Amino acid sequence: MEQVTGIILAGGRGSRMGGVDKGLERFQGQPLAFRAMMRLVPQVADVLINANRNIGVYEGFGVTVLPDPIEGYQGPLAGMLSGLPYCETDFLQAIPCDVPNFPTDLVARLHAGLVASGLPLAYPVTIEADGSRQPHPVFLLMRGEVHDSLLVYLQQGGRKIDRWTSDLGAAEVIFPDGAAFMNANTVEELRALEAPPS
């Protein structure tokens, strides 16, 4: 979508993977962040990567790489904040690097939901087998105009995505496939996601 820039969030500590740079861990032979980039490219006008380590490696993917603007690994919101000043489109779509099978129609569906709602933010929600709703707020689509609000929230010590989104108002867009949003926090989970369905 020409109105949307994507940012892949690869700036975390990777603490549950033993401190490795998670975006460079391999999934089906590719670094996770590269796989996310290739999955995202057809959906957006431009792609950025948020990373705090191995900057040169990520730059080798051929995209702009941005470190957190706030020191100390302050979480995914800091990564989103890094992209907003560089976003030349109306919207910025955040993508965590550790969800290798996110939907190929993610951006179009979130954009449609956001525009229909008139709200500044949107994120996917899946319905679990027991009927419960599972939000996935790290996949946040945001209007560029939220920059100042996010900056103030982080400067005040805020870190929780859901608290910030509830303050501004976010559209929840239903997606049918919960498995598409499964992430890999550990090496074991990453290998499990690689395995073909039984």
Count of the separate structural domains present in the chain: 1
Show Cβ contacts of residue 83 under 8 Å, excluding neighbours closer than 6 positions.
Answer: 5, 7, 48, 50, 66, 92, 94
72: left (phi over 0), alpha (psi -120 to 50) or beta: left
* Encoded tokens for 30: 């590719």
Q: Which tokens belong to 20?
A: 């490795």
Q: Could you give the CA distance from residue 31 to residue 58 in angstroms, rounded to a whole number?
A: 10
Q: Dump strand ranges (E) for the chain.
A: 4-9, 26-27, 30-31, 46-50, 64-66, 91-96, 121-127, 133-135, 141-143, 170-175
What residues make up the domain containing 43?
4-194
Residue range 65-124, pLDDT digits in tens: 999 998 888 899 999 999 999 999 999 999 999 999 999 999 999 999 999 999 999 999
Q: pLDDT > 90: what percent of the chain?
A: 79
Calpha distance 62→138 (Å, rounded):
24
> Which residue do the tokens 């910025």 mark?
92
Residue 155: phi and psi, rounded to 5, are -65, -25
pLDDT at 15: 60
Identify the CATH number of the domain in which residue 116 sits: 3.90.550.10
What's the chain's length in residues?
A: 198
Residue 155 pLDDT: 94
Structure pTM?
Answer: 0.94
- pLDDT-based confidence at residue 197 (cuts at 50, 70, 90): low
